[in-house]
Amino acid sequence: MTTFSVRFLGCKVSYSDADALKERLLADGHSEEGSGEAEIALVNSCCVTREALAKSRQAAAKAARTHRRVFVTGCGANLEGAFAGLPENVTVLSGQSAEAPERLAGLIGRAGRAIDGRPKRVRAFVQIQDGCSFFCSYCVVPLVRGPARSKPAEAVLAEVRRRIARGHKEVVLSGINLGCFHDSAASVSLAGLVREAGKTPGLERLRLSSIEINHVGPELVAAIRETPTACRHLHVPLQSGDDGVLRAMKRHYDSATFLRRLEGLDDFNLSSDVIVGFPGEDEAAFGRTLDLVGRASISKVHVFPYSPRPGTATEGADDVPAQVKKERAARLRDSSKSASLRRWRGKIGMEERILIDRPGRGYATDYTPWLVDGPVGEIVQAEAESVTEQGIAGRVRQP
Ligand code: SF4
């Protein structure tokens, strides 16, 4: 038996890649340990920003000092030279992420029967598609993950059933460009998949990970509204609220389209991603982003200061000074924090069902964070009493 530790960097897809590696090694009889005790370290890397790649390199270099062997997988592993110069005990597994578990298993070997006794896990990420064919001008993801392709709907539904049988209460359908999901052989769209997966016996909640605005349409919204388990939360990347910047980003929508597609979604909680300091973004353009975030009623923004990525159309462009990016990022984060607090305050006195995902903390169906006590993995009915920086402080209502 080999002991291993797992670390992922980046998005939900990276999490689900790392989870698949972990599952495979556990199935082969190996054992997961804290990074201080494990012989082998798995680092599922990210290269979507310069900072994410630097952190991935640091994680691999650090693990090389404390582990016998380190395997680097994920998006960064496919970026040529990204992990060059690291010690000899670091192996970079490039190639398609779907094949990484099998390759890793071949390198480590089987130890015997799987050991089960893992702590209860609450939320499962089920990947339904991989890759992206959009080629936004700044984005390295299509280069490292390849073109968009979907899993067969039946395979996704089987994975949802398997996760529920293992005790997961919530399933998050995830992908690199989720809305591109389409099983053409079985004629199943993302909306159809939501309806089918949402009916799985034992499932409490079905959630979508990030989805592009051009894929948010009446069919999908109706599927979410008409599926009782589907959560009314959408994470819709905006990236910029300025039409000139959006054109330069090759995002294929403008600010008016972004707003129009979100019209009538007052019963949804909306969150988003924004890049600040994109080449050519001046103060007025950034102001339009701040304004649009407010007009779209986005309650939470993940802010990414722009960094040029190798091989992309904007590789050679980076004209906004670092200090300006930092200052804009701080202003946008402040505005996001205020929007979150406003939204949470509006819930005081209300009751919601909270899925406890770690001690003292959980999430409502719309992905609002709550600070509330209850058994991990259970859903409790709670009343919102006050608001803190971390979420709504609530009290469990006895049934
Ligand atoms: S949609 Fe654009 S930003 Fe998103 S993964 Fe594809 S190319 Fe990158």
Cα of 265 to ligand 1 centre, how many Å?
24
Ligand 1 atom nearest 251 alpha carbon: 2
Mean pLDDT of 364-387: 97
Q: DSSP 3-state helix, strand, coil percentages of the chain (rounded to 5)?
A: 35, 25, 40
- At 118, the pLDDT band (50, 70, 90 cuts) reads low
- At 121, the pLDDT band (50, 70, 90 cuts) reads confident
Mean pLDDT of 209-236: 98
Cα of 237 to ligand 1 centre, how many Å?
10
pLDDT of residue 148 exceeding 80: yes
- pLDDT above 90 as % of the chain: 93
What does the pLDDT read at residue 164?
Answer: 95
Of all protein residues, whose CA lies closest to atom 1 belonging to ligand 1?
Answer: 134
Cβ of 211 below 6 Å from ligand 1: no
Cβ of 245 below 6 Å from ligand 1: no
Of all protein residues, whose CA lies closest to atom 8 belonging to ligand 1?
Answer: 139
What are the strands, taking DSSP E only, across 101-141? 123-127, 129-130
Of all protein residues, whose CA lies closest to atom 2 belonging to ligand 1?
Answer: 136
Mean pLDDT of 321-333: 98
CA torsion sign, 328 to 331 to 335 to 336?
positive
Q: In angstroms, rounded to a whole number, what is the distance separating the alpha carbons of residues 237 and 365?
A: 20
Q: What's the pLDDT tens digit per position in 50-88?
A: 999 999 999 999 999 999 999 999 999 999 999 999 999
- At 37, the pLDDT band (50, 70, 90 cuts) reads confident
Q: Give the containing element (helix H, strand E) for 272.
A: strand 269-276
The mean pLDDT value of the chain amounts to: 95
Mean pLDDT of 307-334: 98
What does the pLDDT read at residue 115?
Answer: 57
Cβ of 144 below 6 Å from ligand 1: no
What does the pLDDT read at residue 1?
Answer: 85
Cα of 140 to ligand 1 centre, how many Å?
8
Cβ of 148 below 6 Å from ligand 1: no
How many CA atoms are closer than 13 Å to the CA of 207, on its beta-carbon side?
27
What are the strands, taking DSSP E only, across 17-163? 31-32, 40-45, 69-74, 90-92, 123-127, 129-130, 149-150
Cβ of 132 below 6 Å from ligand 1: yes
Residue of 13, 14, 75, 132 to mutate, ligand 1, most atoms within 8 A of C-beta: 132
Cα of 260 to ligand 1 centre, how many Å?
21
Q: Are strands 269-276 and 233-235 parallel, antiparallel or unpaired?
A: parallel
Q: Which of 103, 69, 106 is nearest to 86 (CA)?
A: 69
The DSSP-derived string for 180-200 is G-EETTTTEEHHHHHHHHHT-
The DSSP-derived string for 313-332 is TTTT---S-HHHHHHHHHHH
Ligand 1 atom nearest 212 alpha carbon: 1
Residue 30 DSSP SS3: coil
Cβ of 253 below 6 Å from ligand 1: no
pLDDT of residue 17 exceeding 60: yes
Tokens of 236: 């819709």
Cβ of 212 below 6 Å from ligand 1: yes
Cβ of 177 below 6 Å from ligand 1: yes
Cβ of 11 below 6 Å from ligand 1: no
What does the pLDDT read at residue 36?
Answer: 76
Beta-carbon contacts of residue 279 (< 8 Å; ≥ 6 apart): 248, 306, 314, 317, 318, 319, 320
Q: In angstroms, rounded to a whole number, what is the distance separating the alpha carbons of residues 157 and 200?
A: 8
The 8 Å CB, 24+ separation contacts for 388-392 are 389/337, 389/341, 390/361, 391/344, 391/361, 392/344, 392/347, 392/348, 392/368
Residue 383 near residue 349 (C-beta atoms within 8 A): yes
Q: Are strands 69-74 and 351-358 parallel, antiparallel or unpaired?
A: unpaired
